[in-house]
Structures are given as structure tokens and as C-alpha cells.
Structure 1
């Protein structure tokens, strides 16, 4: 009897009209946020994250930290998912400014040595607002220092994190920091201007404020914050509480003659390394890449399509995104979403919902992985839509034939009904056992219905090739899928280059290309992070 009732319920879902589900505001942007989540590629292109997800990292997951210290870290610091990311910070320096942890019985202030928190200081922006160099002088100087240490840790428990999407660890003037500086921290960074602005504040202060939120407003329900720059990283509030040291190894000195990433005065301008005889022996990236960044960039491109290894899981049924609120995130028709123009009451409403999310839900609670559903839709339609607008189809009849081939599974040729056909097309990839009333579900339904409706419209109604292609292009522009900027056919010694703070040019953003992995950011063109495309 129970199985019959379950089947009856599924049949009811199959016959409903998809228009009954209300489309959320900015459904296409919510869809893309789900698609890009925990992916280096999509998060680099949709770099102004507007969403907050609960994330879980399973016990035993390994992480990495680069420092001058040969003893385990105590207190608040950064963790990298990739060892090459951490190794960039593994140079010797004097005692940095420490970041005091929030007051908590789990912390031992007597053991919180001022010699710790070195990586915090090295992550400070350098001329972030002008876009020049955009890396810490300490990181540059580390190339002239002796070797430091690579720490390997394992999670002592399942870590509970707040994932801030986009390139939220990028210290840029484009809005990558809005979700933290403007919304979470409400402009409270000590060195922030009167009006919260992009690129203001320090990384140490962000870490302190994030851990204060975790401990006080969120009552210890969050262990840290998950972000992305050139690689994914965690601001973890209590290393000694949440991690088990696995090993500490000394890295190769960068001061030796011929070492990769060795400091070269010729690399100090914005044009990158020169192709002269001396520089042929050195493999430094352009636009002022930090030492070791060649290996670093190679490593993070492996995470273009996901962090891998089941290292992070997100709760997609319950998350908060500014895209869903009745606020103007695109002032003056900006192409990049911003939070700087929102009123205090609008910011308060979103901030309170983030707190409600943290206090009421867990990353590990039952949730449908809507990213897998989004992936099915993108892979089904991405190449076809790209082909339809490519100019390679020269007649309306051929375009109609291509579209009909794609839509044929949803057509009953013995009883035509376009409305039912659009519904079948919309529901094709939807999980029938999932909760279809959640924000994620409604966004996915909306995008699927828009895509199917537009394609049926072009196939059935358009009688002019130019108009048909223009309508299809309008759909492509609305969807704005990052798959359409992916490189095709990179050689084994090449990587697909897109701007990833602090590196990359405007041209890299417009037209990502395969480039030699030994010098992917060749320094040509205007830096993307100078404030263009705002």
C-alpha cells in the first residue's frame, strides 16, 4: 500500500504544470551560483559571490598551511586545500602581527605565540584599490628568504563551515569582498572608510570578525569560513581544537640559484618576465605573481570543475542568497552584482537570514544536491545553444531541424500540446523525490522552463533565421553559463587561463585561452583587477 501511495504521489508530480511554482527573483543568477559553487572555474568568472551555504568537511580530510614556524599553529589561521597553495606562504619572516582569537575557553592565550598567524599578514592586499600588483610585499620578499615549513593537518572532526561563494578571498575593488565587508561585518572593519567600500580592510581583521561571529552571534555552531581566491581556503578559528597535526616538513629554499620562482628584478613591472636568455631559465608568472605561483596555478586549475575527493558537501536545500531579495544588486545596469548600494534595513534582513540559517540548519542534514541537477541541464543544452548562435547554421530549416532533434523526446506527435511539451521538457532532469518548493528547486525549475519555452518558441513561431538566432542569443545572454568560456583542446603542458586574483588580464576574462603552464599569466594586456568591468 505504501509503495502505491508513493507511486501515486510521483505520478501527481509528473502531471503538474511547472508554471505553478513561482520563479524566484534572479533565478538565472541563483542557478549559476549553484553551478559555480565549490568550483574554481565558475567562481572565477562569477567572482562577486552573493550567496552563503552551510558546508561540511569530513573528519580526516587533509589540509595545508605554509609558515616560517616549525611547530603546530595555535589559534586562528588559514588552511589551504592544496599544498602548492600553502607553500607560497612558507618563507621565513620576523614575528608578524598576531590575530587574537575570540574569547573562548577552548583557546589557551598563554600558548598563542606572537610568532604564529604569519600567513594572515602575508595575505594582506597591496595597492588593492588601484589593482597594482595586488600581492603582499611580504610574499614578494619571501623569495629572498630562507625556506619555511609546510604543515599538513587532518580534521579532528567533521568541520562545520560557512561557505561564502564567488572569489570571496580576492582582495579586489570589484565587489568580491562585499559579502563580507558590507554584509557580514556591516562595515565594521577598523580601517574601513566611512562608506564600506571594496578592497578595504585587512585579512587579519576579517579573520577576527569572522571568528567573533562564529563564537558569539552563532554560538559556536560554525568552526570557520570557507572562501576562494587562487584556490579554496578556510579561515579556521581554532587550529588546536579542530585539527590533528600530521607532519611538518621544510620546503626547498627559494634563495638558491636557479630555484623556480626566484626573485627577479625584471619581474617587478606589470609586463611579466622577458623572453631573453636569462629569463628562459626562470619560470615566473606575469603581473607580479608570487614566488612558487607557477606550481600554485597548475594545482588550482585541477579544481576548475570541483574541489574533488568528497572533501566538501553543501546544503543546497537551505541557503541564503542576496539574489532572492527584492533589492537592486545591479545599479545602473552594472554587469557585476554589488551590495554597496543597499540600505541598512535591506542588509539587516539578509544578515539576519544568514544567522537564521546557521542557527536552524546543518550542512549534514538531508538535502538534495541541486548542483547535480543543474549540471544535467547545462550539459544537455550548453553545446547545442552555442552551436545555434555560432553562425554555422545557414538556413532556418536547418536550425529548426536541430532544435526539433533536441526537443523530440518531449513531443507527442499524435496529440500536440505545446504547454504540456514545455512541462515535460522542464521536468526532464528534475528529481521527483526532492522538495520542489525550495529556493534552489524553484530557481532550477524557472531556468529549465525558460530554456524549454524559448526553444519551443523559436522552433514553432520564428519564420526568419536572423530573428531566430537573435532570440536564441537572448536566451544565451540570460543564462550566462560559464561553460561557454571554457577552453577547448588544451595541450598537456597548457592550462586554460582566466583571471584569478591577483593575476590575469581583461582579455583573459573576455576570451580565456590555453597558455603554456610554465608562464600562464604572461603579463600582456591590461590587468583585469584594475577596476575595469565594474
Structure 2
């Protein structure tokens, strides 16, 4: 008060006016859209970090982002922590700050039952670790998942030094046949504090290939060449780097189910719950020890003839008592082993089944999108998720990526402080995926009738008009404000704008560049979707107006309809959503709809060829998927 008394009214007025002007200037600076659309996402500063983006003004904040970049960022977010999506789009180019809550169970198996003293692999599902522990059977039999790719070469690589797995989640030492004396242990851990400094790597990031799936890890190692990289070297370098740059709990990757390269098993965030020594596979079912497998020999001609003669005998002769006695003496060991073969195949199937539980979500892992780091929108990346590579980006770009990751690790990840953008993209896919597919099918049928059956009436212009409006009418009506009926152009513009905002708006205030980048990309994609939906409705409405109201209404030309079909086809190809990949039939209870994977697997390295097709020399997952069971694994092995 004494200070105020000493100031004249003139001085006070000047101070108040100055303060007001400063606040006005700051408010204008904060709210004005200074985003330069030509800049990369690292340079774009979302000055509206305090919730100023709203339904009325959001369009002025959008950058001029290329649609390839927008759809790629949308898919990186949408595919995160979804096994089906990640395998369909196997090469990820982003780093997600991840978080595993307190109380989560994690699994590891090995051959000595000891808790690792350094980094090692962990699985989110016990079936993962259990299957990689293998069924080491007496007699030397082993039919578990392969430890090495075909011909000893890692897929995508030129051979030479192996780009191999080292130890994996629950993998015992070595992947080959075990001896009868080998014992596996399954260790169960529980988090007693959140693992809040994890990095999740998108795509099939544990595929152990050289075709791009491992590029995000390679960039973190500072190695110059893949020839110097393998699993253990990479894990060691990443954990060492993370320790020096803010601390790193580990790296989450996808194989069949999700695994963690845990940097420190001695962490006070983790406690051992159980150290289980697995029983011998024959002991638990009270079978005697298996006999050693004999190497197959070439049959002599007379033995072959004798076997053919025996197979030609009537069934009645085969069931005589002497035959049964002979079977009891000679056949039972093989039949017992065949039964255990089924159990082993079932172990592989249960591993697949555990992974399928996370086709659409791994909800035990959370993501802090406010610190999301991606190579997208800062340098060219191939839009094809089977062909993109980032291992050879410039040294400046690599340094920039590493700097952003170090910044990510400087604070604990907090998945609750920002928008969960995965829920936003999931809602968009679930809502618009079926609509887009139905409109595409309608346009495709009409185009087919034009070119293949021009004289027929199987799919008429009337059918097209009815279908296009049926699939879009209620959606368009929901966003069309009758108050603007006097200005149809504005009414249409307002409807589209609200339809974009309704589905793409941030659920919480945008608080970081990463937040802004994701919102920007999702909004661009949603704009494209809404434009197609409204265009299809408009075409259908014009057709019906011509047929049922007035012939004076101009009908869209076949060229316009074809152009619309091409537009929606391009959009569907860019989106490449996992919901477009489905089994043709409902799988039985003992089956699962199978999405192929890309690394070591019960059905062979990269699941061999089941569910894949070659397109221009690149194996890709088919949109028509297959049902498999344990019998599929038994046949393949």
C-alpha cells in the first residue's frame, strides 16, 4: 500500500494500460495461427496449447500436410499395440512413450531358473514364454518354433553375419533339439511400480529381419551398418544409450504377442512372484521315456512290396489278436510320441491364440501420445508399409530423432495427461470402415455392369442411387442444420465441418507438438473421409431426384461415377485398415482367424506362406484370411 501511495495517478494509469497491452499482445500471440504449413512437425509450434482450438476455428490451425503423411501418421497411431494392425503394416517408423501399470504380470523362461542380472527378454503372455521354453523331450524329439530362418539366412538380408534373435522372451539357451536332461524354468514377475520409461516400437518390430521392421531399433544403436547388428548387441546398445539419456526401463516389440527387452531385471519396479521348474513332458502324463527318433532310411524294394501287400489286406485280417499283440509291442511308443506331438502343436497354437487376443488391443500397455516421436513428416518415407526404410536417413535426421527420444526419456511417461488418440482413430475406423466398404462395393458393381454387362439390368442406376443414399442418408442428415436451408452451400459446408470436428476433436487440451501433429494428421484424414461420404450421398441423391422427382435434374455421368469410385478406392488403399482383413467364414471353437506374423513362429519362419501372397516380389498379407487350428501346425511340422 505504501508503494501505491507513493505513485501518482498518472504513473498508475500508465502501469495499468501497459499491463493490459502486454496481456492483449500475449493473448493474440498465443491464439493467432502462426503455423507455417511448409515446416516439418519439429518446427511447427502449436501456439494453441491451452485449449483454444474449437469447433468454430479449428480449420485455421490445420497445416497443409501431405495426405500420404497424414494417413501414415493416422495409421501409426491406429496400429499401435494391435497385433493384427501391426502385422498388416509391418514396418513402423515411430517411437511411442509407453507405460505398464503397477500389478501387471510379466513372464520369462530360461534353462537355469536364475533371475537375469542384466537386460533380457520378457513376454506379456505366459503362452509366449512357455512356447519359447520348448518341449525338450526325452529321446531328442523337438518340434517347437524354429530358431533360424530358411537356409540359415535372415529374411531380407544377403546372408553373412546373422541378424539373429540371441535370447528371446522365455527362450532357453539355444533353439535346437534338447536332451532328455534339459530343464526349463518359467519365471513370473509382477510390477510393483509403473514401468513409466518404456518405448514401444510399432510394426512387426521383433521380426528379426533386415527388410525394415527393425529399423527403429537400428537407429537407436548408433551402428553404421546392419552387418554389425544382432539382437543382443542391439539390446545392449539401446539399454546403455537409454541409461545415459534419462533412463530407460525397456523397449516393447511385437512378435506373436508383445515382448519387452527389459534393461534391468534387478529394478525395484519388479518383483519375482514364482520361479517354476517345468515338468518333463512325458512325466506329467505318466508316459514312459520316449525312444530316440530313428533316422529315416531308404526302403528296400522287397520291404516296400511287403508294405504295399500289407496295406492291400482286408481290414478283418489286420484286427486279429496276433496283429494287436504286435501293435502293442511295436506301435505303442510311436503312438505315445504322436500324442505328445499333439500337445506340442497345441502349445504353438495357444501361443498364436494368445497373440490373437491382442489383435485389436493390448490394453495392459498404455501410451503417452504427448511425447510421440516419428520420422514421418520430417523426411520422405515410402507410403507403402511393406517397403518403407529409415535405416539410411541422414546423420542430421538420426541425431534429431535421438534428441527427441532423449527428450522423451527426460520425464516419466504419463498416459493420462493427454488425449488417447488410439481411441479416436478406433472410433473413426469402426464407424466409417463399413460405410466406405459398402459404398465401394456399390460403385464397383455399377462399374462392372457398365463394362461387362451393359445390356443387363443386374445392377441399375436406380440400385446405385438407393444404395449410396441408404448407407449415408442418416449420417448426412445428422449433421445438416435446417436453419441454413436458405443457403444450401453454407449448410453443406457447415455439415461437413461439424462431421470432421465431431470425430477428430482432441478429448483433452493439446499440450505438445506431438499432440498437435497427431490431431492435425487425423483431422486431414477425417476431412477426406467426410468428403467421400458426402460426395456419395450427393451422387445418390441426384440419381433419385432424376428418377423419382424430375427428369430435369441432371444425372451424374458414368465418368463422374467412375471418378468417385477411383477416389474411394485410393482412400481405402491409403487407409489399409485391419477391419478390411477378415476370414471368409466363421471359425470353429477350436480354430482362430489367422493373421500371419513375420518372425520365428510355430508354423515356420514368418509363418511360411499361410495367409500371404507375393505382389511384385514382396510377400503381403491377404485380405481374405484363413482359419487355423493346432492340426494345421501338426501338419506343417
Taking structure 2 as the reference length, the TM-score comes to 0.64
Question: Partners of 2:235 and 2:534 in 1: how far apart?
Answer: 50
Matched, 1:299 2:354: yes
> Are 1:313 and 2:402 matched, yes or no?
no
Residue in structure 2 matched with residue 212 of structure 1 by the alignment: 240
Residues 205-248 of structure 1: CA distance to partner in whole angstroms, max 9, x if unpaired?
A: 122111101111x132x211111111111111111223211011
Using the TM superposition, name which of 43-52 and 289-298 deviates more.
289-298
Structure 1 residues 219 and 357: alpha-carbon distance in aligned structure 2, compared to 1, 3 A threshold = closer
Counterpart-to-counterpart distance in 1, 2:53 and 2:203: 38
Matches within 5 A, 1:361-372: 362-364=413-415, 366-372=417-423
| 1:509 counterpart (614, 621, 625) | 621
Say if 2:208 is the partner of 1:171: yes
Stretch deviating more after TM superposition (394-403 or 242-251): 394-403
Q: Deviations over 1:305-363 (max 9, x none)?
A: 1113xx211011220111121x22229x7852211342222222222222222225623
CA contact (8 A) 2:349 2:629 kept: yes
Q: Contact 2:341/2:634 (CA < 8 Å) preserved in 1?
A: no
Alignment of 1:412 with 2:481, yes or no, is yes
Which of 102, 105, 116 in structure 2 is aligned with 1:59? 102
- Does structure 2 conserve the Cα–Cα contact (< 8 Å) formed by 1:67 and 1:89? no
Q: 1:263 to 1:344 in 2, by over 3 A?
A: farther
Change (3 A) 1:520 1:427: farther
Alignment of 1:374-385 (within 5 A): 374-385=425-436
Name the larger-Rg structure.
Answer: 2
In the alignment, is the contact (CA less than 8 A) between 2:91 and 2:385 conserved in 1? no
Task: Give structure 2 stretches of 5+ with no counterpart.
Answer: 1-49, 137-145, 167-172, 297-333, 447-458, 540-555, 601-605, 614-619
Deviations 1:156-211 (A, max 9, x none): 32112111111111102321111111x1113257xx43xxxxxx722111221111
Equivalent residue, structure 2, for 1:187: 223
Name the SS of the counterpart of 2:96 in structure 1: strand
Distance 1:14 1:207 in 2: 45
Equivalent of residue 375 in structure 2, options 319, 322, 329: 322
Tell me whether 1:42 sits opposite 2:110 in the alignment.
no
Whether contact under 8 Å (1:68, 1:92) holds in the other structure is: no
Aligned equivalents of 1:59, 1:408: Cα separation in 2: 46
Q: What SS is found at the alignment partner of 1:22?
A: coil
| Residues 152 and 245 in structure 1, CA contact (< 8 A), matched pair in contact too | yes
2:55 alignment counterpart? 14
Q: For 1:291 and 1:73, locate their aligned partners in 2 and report how far apart those are by CA, in whole Å.
A: 29
Aligned counterparts of 1:474 and 1:148: Cα–Cα separation in 2: 51
For the residues of structure 1 that align with 2:568 and 2:427, how far apart are their CA atoms?
A: 20
Q: Provide the alpha-carbon RMSD of the alignment.
A: 3.7
Q: Where in structure 1 are there 5+ consecutive unaligned residues?
A: 1-8, 94-121, 194-199, 268-276, 525-534
Whole-angstrom distance in 1 between the partners of 2:360 and 2:292: 32
State whether residues 346 and 630 of structure 2, in contact with CA within 8 Å, keep that contact through their aligned partners in structure 1: no
- Partners of 1:82 and 1:248 lie apart in 2 by 16
Select the residue among 518, 533, 537 that pairs with 1:440. Answer: 518
Match of 1:518 among 606, 610, 630: 630
1:238 has 2:264 as partner: yes
**Do structure 1's residue 424 and structure 2's residue 475 form an aligned pair?**
no
Are 2:566 and 1:470 equivalent residues in the alignment?
yes
- Establish whether residue 253 from structure 1 lines up as the match of residue 264 from structure 2: no
**Are 2:591 and 1:494 aligned?**
yes
Distance 1:205 1:124, change over 3 A: farther
Mapped partners of 1:498, 1:283: distance in 2:
24
C-alpha contact (below 8 Å) 2:472/2:533 kept by paired residues: yes
CA distance in 1, matches of 2:435, 2:369: 27
User: Which residue among 57, 62, 72 is the counterpart of 2:115?
Assistant: 72
The CA deviation at 1:378 is 0.6
Aligned to 2:328: none
Which residue matches 2:320?
A: none
CA contact (8 A) 2:116 2:265 kept: yes
Give the CA deviation at 1:295. Answer: 2.0
Structure having the larger proportion of residues in helix: 2
Question: 1:436-455: CA deviations, max 9, x gaps?
Answer: 56111111111111111222
Report the alpha carbon displacement of residue 284 of structure 1 after superposing the two structures with TM.
7.1
SS at match of 1:407: helix
State TM-score, norm by structure 1.
0.76
Q: Distance in 1 between matches of 2:294 and 2:361?
A: 36
Could you tell me which residue of structure 2 aligns to residue 351 of structure 1? Answer: 402
1:261-300 equivalent positions in 2, closer than 5 A: 281=339, 292-300=347-355
What's 1:397 paired with?
A: 465
* Aligned equivalents of 2:385, 2:250: Cα separation in 1: 32
- Cα distance in structure 2, aligned partners of 1:405 and 1:266: 68
**What is the aligned length?**
459
Determine the structure 1 residue equivalent to 2:21.
none
Residue deviations 1:52-96 (CA, integer Å, cap 9, x gap) = 111111122111111112233322111101001011232599xxx
SS of corresponding position for 1:337: coil
- Whether the 8 Å contact between 1:31 and 1:374 is mirrored in structure 2 is yes
Matched, 1:146 2:182: yes
